Amino acid sequence: MDPKETGPIKADEIRVDGLLPALPAQVYEAWLDAANHGAMTGSEATSDPRPGGRFTAWDGYIEGTHEELYPPHRIVQRWRTSEFPADAPDSRLEVHLAPHPEGTAVTFVHTGIPAGQGAAYEQGWVDHYLTPMRQYFVER
């Protein structure tokens, strides 16, 4: 093997945990409903809430497909942003929702992120999802 060849570039993987003041069913339903998803994040979203259905978020910055839906505890999506290289495959996002005495424990497991982009998405899940979602459910 040529020493200059490094082989395939490994994709980034991240896990982000948070707590929301709502029941898992409320979070699940809001995530899949375009109007509520947009209200939670403060940005336009679309959603066809069925396996194989397409979605967008953050005014089209995020797009993908709902792969698996397990109400009200798990959502699996094929997910990408406009910052993914054109030849990069979609990443996989799993949203886990578990009952917690204070509402819902949320875990984002995001795999297959283009190498080098994981840290930005890790902070993005906190800043652009968990933080505004907490506020959305507090105000309801």
Q: Tell me, what's the pLDDT at 6?
A: 52
**Residue 40 counted as domain residue:** no
On the question of pLDDT at 113 being above 90, the answer is: yes
How many structural domains compose the chain? 1
| d(C-alpha 38, C-alpha 59), whole Å | 9
Q: Tell me, what's the pLDDT at 10?
A: 83
| d(C-alpha 30, C-alpha 123), whole Å | 21
Where in the sequence is the domain holding 119, given as residue range(s)?
A: 12-29+68-139
Q: What are the helix and strand counts (H, E) for the chain?
A: 4, 7
On the question of pLDDT at 14 being above 50, the answer is: yes
23: domain CATH number is 3.30.530.20
**Residue 124 counted as domain residue:** yes
pLDDT in tens, 48-80: 999 999 999 999 999 999 999 999 999 999 999
On the question of pLDDT at 96 being above 80, the answer is: yes
Q: Tell me, what's the pLDDT at 3?
A: 45
- Identify the residue whose tokens are 């902070």: 123
